[in-house]
Amino acid sequence: MADRAIFKGTISLGGLISIPMKIVKATSDHDVAFHEYHVADGARVGRQKVCKGCSNDLTDADIVKGLEVTKGKVVTFTAQELATLPLKSSKTIEIERFVLAEELSPLMFEEAAYYITPEPGGEKAFALVVKGMQKAQKVAIGKIALRQREHVCSLLPTVRGGLLMSLMYFSDEIREMPQVQGMLVAEDELELIGQVIKRYSKPFEHAQFKDDYNEALKVLIAAKMSGQTVVAASAPAPTMDLKSALQSLLQQ
């Protein structure tokens, strides 16, 4: 089954090149879906929406979004009204510049990632932009409105001819890193940690990393069903003798 497009619009370059495209999610999670149950009778806990004024149960059709602009003064909006926001990025990714990938810090990126592919009529222009970015080894930066807010976004060309879009935070959304207290490090310890890093250095193979949380959860579920008890893993104590620990790592 084809992935459902979460966004259809255009990529615009310089106001003269417009490429019709669609966006689909690039990832899917396999989290265990917990529900909530009443401990007294085991019944499922609902998620009813209740009006705090009249105490009536509400459906989605009864609800609009709103913002309290001053005390007691609320401005409300329907979904249709929000869709009319005079915002170019609600329909178009306007490429504002091309940058080197190393200019971008991982801290700038939100979790979500998406694939962009061309819609009919945009295939040639899309391919030209992707190949041009690959040749120049550049990443495109623009803005897009998704999930009822605007984001900075990066567009990275992929080996399969598409674009990988990553949502980014605005600069004022990123908190400053706390100051870390500096400590004196002995030269022989620095030499040892260098040897350990070299020993543990190897190519990144994504498929080797498995979801241990889900596996542990399955063990816990099986234990609960059979009346057994699972002992929680204990956290290791802080290492006090760093030099001995580093030497031991090198001997493994």
More confident residue, 87 or 92: 92
Identity at 47, one-letter amino acid code: R
Does position 92 have pLDDT exceeding 70, yes or no? yes
Tokens at residue 215, please? 């596996």
% of the chain at pLDDT higher than 90: 37
Residue 240 scores a pLDDT above 80: no
**Averaged pLDDT for residues 141-167:** 91
Measured between alpha carbons, how far is 11 from 14 in angstroms, rounded to an integer?
A: 10
Residue with token string 């290791």: 236
Residue 243's pLDDT is: 85
Contact (CB, 8 A) for 249 and 195:
no
Helices (H) then strands (E): counts for the chain: 5, 12
Residues 223 and 228: their CA atoms lie apart, in Å, by 5
Q: What is the pLDDT of residue 241?
A: 80
H/E segment holding residue 221: helix 212-225
Distance from C-alpha of 246 to C-alpha of 191, rounded to nearest angstrom = 10
Q: What is the pLDDT of residues 35-44, one digit of tens each?
A: 888 888 888 8
Tokens of 153: 């976004």
Helix (H) or strand (E) holding 232: none
- Return the closest-CA partner of residue 140 out of 159, 169, 170, 164: 164
Query: Residue 86's pLDDT band (boundaries 50, 70, 90)?
Result: low
Q: What is the mean pLDDT of the chain?
A: 86
CA-closest candidate to residue 160, choices 116, 97, 125: 116
Q: Is 143 helix (H, G, I), strand (E, B) or coil?
A: strand
156-176 pLDDT, tens digit each: 999 999 999 999 999 999 999
The domains located in the chain, with CATH, are: 7-30+83-173 (2.40.290.10), 187-251 (no CATH)
Q: Where residue 2 falls among pLDDT bands split at 50, 70, 90? A: low
Question: Is the whole-model pTM more than 0.85?
Answer: no
Neighbours of 101 (CB within 10 A): 10
226: pLDDT confidence band, cut at 50, 70 and 90? Answer: confident
Please list the residues that pair with 139 across neighbouring strands: 99
State the residue for tokens 């002995």. Answer: 186
Residue 145, classed as helix, strand or coil, is strand
Sequential DSSP letters for 135-193: HHT-EEEEEEEETTEEEEEEEEE-TTS-EEEEEE--GGGSPPPPPPPP----HHHHHHH
CA distance 167 to 165: 7
Spatial neighbors of 114 by CB under 8 A, at least 6 apart, are 6, 7, 23, 24, 25, 26, 164, 165, 166, 167
Cα(53)–Cα(190) distance, rounded to whole angstroms?
65
Distance spanning both ends of the chain, measured CA to CA? 48
pLDDT value of position 1: 42
Q: On the CB side of 41, how many CA atoms lie within 13 Å of its CA?
A: 3
